[in-house]
Amino acid sequence: MQILQTISSKSANHDFQAAAEAVRDVVQKSLAPKVADIDLEGEYPSEILHQLGNAGAFAHAVVPELGGTGLGLKAAIQSIEEISKECMSTGFMAWCQVACTWYLQNTDNQALASELLPDIAAGKQLAGTGLSNPMKHFVEIEKIALTAEPVEGGFRVNGMLPWVSNLGPGHWFGIAAKIADSEDYMMAVVSDEMAGMTLRCNAHFIALEGTGTYSCVFRDVFVPDTRVLAAPCEEYVLRIRPGFILTQVGMGLGLVDSCVELMKRSNKRLGHVNRFLDDQTEDIEADLLMARDRTYALADRLDASEGMIDDQLLREVVQARIVGSELSLRAAQATMLHAGARAYVHGSAPERKLREAYFVAIVTPALKHLKKMLFALPEEALTTAS
Ligand SMILES: Cc1cc2nc3c(=O)[nH]c(=O)nc-3n(C[C@H](O)[C@H](O)[C@H](O)COP(=O)(O)OP(=O)(O)OC[C@H]3O[C@@H](n4cnc5c(N)ncnc54)[C@H](O)[C@@H]3O)c2cc1C
């Protein structure tokens, strides 16, 4: 596939370190002072997201012709990681934005990609993804939530998605729906500005409160063909799924990195007793380095693939995502235990890390979903791996 080959050849004008530094600069200057407001007050950081976009944070999995840097999935993961070190709510929103760029980058609807992708990649236009339900549906975890009835010039969509993040007035987000009276599915990008769509804020979360998360009700929403990513979309979903899953590991890597820093800080005061804990800072740090290397290597392999990957590579992607979840939970728990009573005070950093870590493990694909996928991957993959 020409698009992915362009990404894998990488733009000579950009360099990974410079890309990460540009993001780090926004994180330190603009995001760091706002973390508590985002986490505890539920403040949606739209201005910071625009700044991150301006720094290139969402543009790496997009080809230069469509406004991207062309650096590829590794740089996209590194951006999400850099942001998640400071604030996983914002790291998750960065992932939502990147996921939407990924859908548009991989669509055959070039007119749609040309129209929307440059502004989404640059963070001028904010965007998200409502694919939790279909991702679970495709592996037989739950029923599909949206149906799309073919009508003149497009589809009429009905149903409800319980939670979609990084939303606000005019934001775009990806959806998948079952095409009525057929076995096929379609994918499209939609926005709350389409007639018949309502966003509802009907839940408060233990973390990730400032992520602009709404339930989305579709009542006879007309989605024109010009907004369709793929219909039918089975082959398209297989193409986008590995990148969708792997880029999420950036959230876990960033979270674990920040936990290691917090543990080191605790050890300055409490190292004499913390050394008796099972999970030591060096253990978590060593596992982080290994997870990071594996994830980056997988990102390069996905970029170099022709879009469709074999079961062995998918298996490794799923395993990397599992490691991201399990290591997040372990690191956040170790951070609490290292910090002791100070961590038990409302508003402490370790307390936030603990709440954030559970999100890495429950956001789709959740740990149980990933383990189900791994279980279902064919025996040949197991044989090849051994
Ligand atoms: C803060 C936050 C942000 C999210 N952002 C997005 C997003 O941007 N895009 C997206 O597609 N998904 C989003 N989700 C959903 C998320 O990805 C998972 O699908 C969800 O956490 C449940 O996944 P699970 O596999 O653990 O399923 P389970 O929790 O095991 O089961 C999910 C089932 O519970 C049902 N359910 C939904 N809401 C409730 C409720 N309040 N109480 C009880 N049951 C309920 C669902 O319909 C579904 O059938 C978000 C969730 C949270 C908590």
Q: Say yes or no: 152 and 265 in one domain.
A: no
Range of the domain at 372: 234-385
Q: Closest residue (by CA) to atom 37 of ligand 1?
A: 162
DSSP 189: E
Q: Say yes or no: 217 and 293 in one domain.
A: no
pLDDT of residue 14: 54
Q: What is the CATH number of the domain that holds 40?
A: 1.10.540.10
Angstrom distance (rounded) from CA 239 to CA 35: 35
Residue 374 CA to ligand 1 centre (angstroms): 21
Q: Say yes or no: 157 and 63 in one domain.
A: no
Residue 255 CA to ligand 1 centre (angstroms): 21
Residue 163 CA to ligand 1 centre (angstroms): 6
Residue 363 CA to ligand 1 centre (angstroms): 7
Residue 217 CA to ligand 1 centre (angstroms): 15
Q: Closest residue (by CA) to atom 45 of ligand 1?
A: 162
Looking at 68, 91, 126, the residue that finishes a domain is 126
Q: Say yes or no: 243 and 225 in one domain.
A: no
Q: Say yes or no: 121 and 141 in one domain.
A: no
Looking at 163, 195, 230, the residue that finishes a domain is 230
Residue 132 CA to ligand 1 centre (angstroms): 7
The number of beta carbons lying within 10 Å of the beta carbon of residue 302 is 25
What atom of ligand 1 comes closest to residue 161's alpha carbon?
A: 11
Angle (CA) 23-34-347 rounded to 5° is: 120
Residue 362 CA to ligand 1 centre (angstroms): 8
Q: Is the dihedral of CA 269, 272, 278, 280 positive or negative?
A: positive
Q: What is the CATH number of the domain that holds 314?
A: 1.20.140.10
CA distances from 49 to 7, 79, 302, 353 (A): 24, 12, 26, 21
Long-range CB contacts (within 8 A, 24+) of 222-226: 222/151, 222/154, 222/155, 222/156, 222/157, 222/194, 222/195, 222/196, 223/148, 223/154, 223/155, 223/156, 223/157, 223/188, 223/190, 223/194, 224/153, 224/154, 225/153, 225/154, 226/109, 226/111, 226/112, 226/154
Within 6 Å (CB) of ligand 1, which residues are found? 96, 128-132, 136, 142, 162-165, 203, 205, 208, 211, 213, 362-364, 366, 369
Q: Closest residue (by CA) to atom 39 of ligand 1?
A: 162
Is the CB of residue 61 less than 8 Å from the CB of residue 4? no
Q: Say yes or no: 311 and 367 in one domain.
A: yes
pLDDT of residue 297: 98
Residue 137 CA to ligand 1 centre (angstroms): 13
Q: Say yes or no: 253 and 280 in one domain.
A: yes
Tokens at 295, concatenated: 């994830």
Q: Say yes or no: 198 and 288 in one domain.
A: no
What atom of ligand 1 comes closest to residue 362's alpha carbon?
A: 26
Q: Closest residue (by CA) to atom 34 of ligand 1?
A: 162
Q: Closest residue (by CA) to atom 1 of ligand 1?
A: 208
Q: Say yes or no: 170 and 268 in one domain.
A: no
Q: Closest residue (by CA) to atom 44 of ligand 1?
A: 162
ipTM of the shown complex? 0.91
Please give the chain's pLDDT, 386 residues, in tens: 444 445 544 444 458 999 999 999 999 999 999 999 999 999 999 999 999 999 999 999 999 999 999 999 999 999 999 999 999 999 999 999 999 999 999 999 999 999 999 999 999 999 999 999 999 999 999 999 999 999 999 999 999 999 999 999 999 999 999 999 999 999 999 999 999 999 999 889 999 999 999 999 999 999 999 999 999 999 999 999 999 999 999 999 999 999 999 999 999 999 999 999 999 999 999 999 999 999 999 999 999 997 788 999 999 999 999 999 999 999 999 999 999 999 999 999 999 999 999 999 999 999 999 999 999 987 564 555 44
Beta strand 127-129 with 228-230 is unpaired
- End-to-end Cα separation, the chain, in angstroms: 31
Q: Say yes or no: 283 and 326 in one domain.
A: yes
Looking at 214, 230, 246, the residue that finishes a domain is 230
State which amino acid sits at residue 220: D
User: How many structural domains does the chain have?
Assistant: 3
Place of tokens 């402490």: 348
Residue 135 CA to ligand 1 centre (angstroms): 12
Q: Is the dihedral of CA 192, 194, 200, 205 positive or negative?
A: negative
The number of beta carbons lying within 10 Å of the beta carbon of residue 265 is 15
Q: Closest residue (by CA) to atom 47 of ligand 1?
A: 162
Angstrom distance (rounded) from CA 308 to CA 156: 30
CA distances from 161 to 176, 198, 262, 294 (A): 10, 11, 37, 33
Q: Closest residue (by CA) to atom 29 of ligand 1?
A: 362
pLDDT of residue 307: 75
**H or E, element range at 237:** helix 234-274
Q: Say yes or no: 374 and 245 in one domain.
A: yes
What atom of ligand 1 comes closest to residue 96's alpha carbon?
A: 8
Q: Is the dihedral of CA 67, 21, 242, 142 positive or negative?
A: negative
**DSSP track, 87-121:** -HHHHHHHHHHHHHHHHHHH-S-HHHHHHHHHHHH
Q: Say yes or no: 82 and 158 in one domain.
A: no
Q: What is the CATH number of the domain that holds 163?
A: 2.40.110.10
Residue 326 CA to ligand 1 centre (angstroms): 19
Residue 161 CA to ligand 1 centre (angstroms): 9
For a substitution probing ligand 1, which of 161, 173, 364, 372 has the most ligand atoms within 8 Å of its CB? Answer: 364
Q: Closest residue (by CA) to atom 16 of ligand 1?
A: 363
